């Protein structure tokens, strides 16, 4: 389990780490709070964001464990999210970093195959599960579609 934005609560919840956005707690401060053994991910929406990650990794190769890339498609979870970039931006940004990347934004059972074939390490899905009348079944179908397209 990873906590979104709430790095200060990781220790007391027993989470495995945290994920921060571009306007959340600074990555260096987040890493300091988490220590070297817990996971830390960062949202990136542009080439400039990924280039800044390269500089962080030069400073400390263990600073980040993965990047969240997106939004890939229109989504309703975060009203202040960047404009969607589609699969093309996902592939482009993923190719610019040595870190594993996780796609986010508008991913559902019909689109997850495209994401799986893009070469990213994973997908973060919110609405396709949380708004489903059968979230367990939806999660299973997403996982199955991912596996079939890897």
What single-letter DSSP state applies at residue 2?
A: E
Residue 102 CB-half CA count within 13 A? 14
Q: How many independent structural domains does the chain possess? A: 1
Residue bearing the bigger pLDDT, 1 or 98? 98
Would the pLDDT of 13 be above 80? yes
- Tell me whether residue 92 is exposed, middle or buried, using C-beta atoms within 10 angstroms of its C-beta: 0 to 12, 13 to 18, 19 or more: middle
Q: Residue 130 sits in a domain of what CATH number?
A: 3.20.20.70
The model's pTM is: 0.92
Give the model confidence (pLDDT) of 100-122 as tens digits.
999 999 999 999 999 999 999 99
Residue 64: domain span: 2-149
Would the pLDDT of 81 be above 80? no
Residues in the chain: 150
**What gap in Å lies between CA 118 and CA 123, rounded to an integer?**
11
Residue bearing the bigger pLDDT, 79 or 43? 43
Coil, helix or strand at residue 10: helix
Give the model confidence (pLDDT) of 43-59 as tens digits.
999 999 999 999 999 99
| Predicted pLDDT of residue 60 | 95
Closest CA to 38 of 58, 57, 60, 66: 66
Cα Rg for the chain, rounded, in angstroms? 15
In angstroms, the first-to-last Cα distance of the chain is 23
């Amino acid at each position: 389990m990873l906590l979104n934005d709430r790095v200060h609560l990781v220790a007391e919840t027993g989470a495995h780490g945290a994920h921060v956005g571009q306007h959340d707690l600074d990555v260096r401060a987040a890493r300091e709070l988490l220590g070297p053994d817990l996971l830390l991910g960062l949202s990136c929406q542009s080439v400039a964001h990924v280039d800044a990650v390269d500089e962080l990794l030069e400073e400390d190769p263990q600073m980040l464990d993965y990047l969240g890339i997106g939004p890939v498609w229109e989504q309703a979870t975060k009203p202040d999210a960047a404009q969607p970039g589609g699969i093309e931006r996902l592939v482009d940004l993923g190719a610019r970093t040595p870190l594993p990347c996780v796609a986010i934004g508008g991913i559902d059972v019909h689109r997850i195959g495209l994401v799986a074939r893009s070469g990213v390490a994973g997908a973060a899905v919110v609405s396709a599960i949380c708004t489903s009348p059968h979230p367990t079944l939806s999660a299973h179908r997403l996982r199955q579609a991912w596996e079939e397209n890897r």
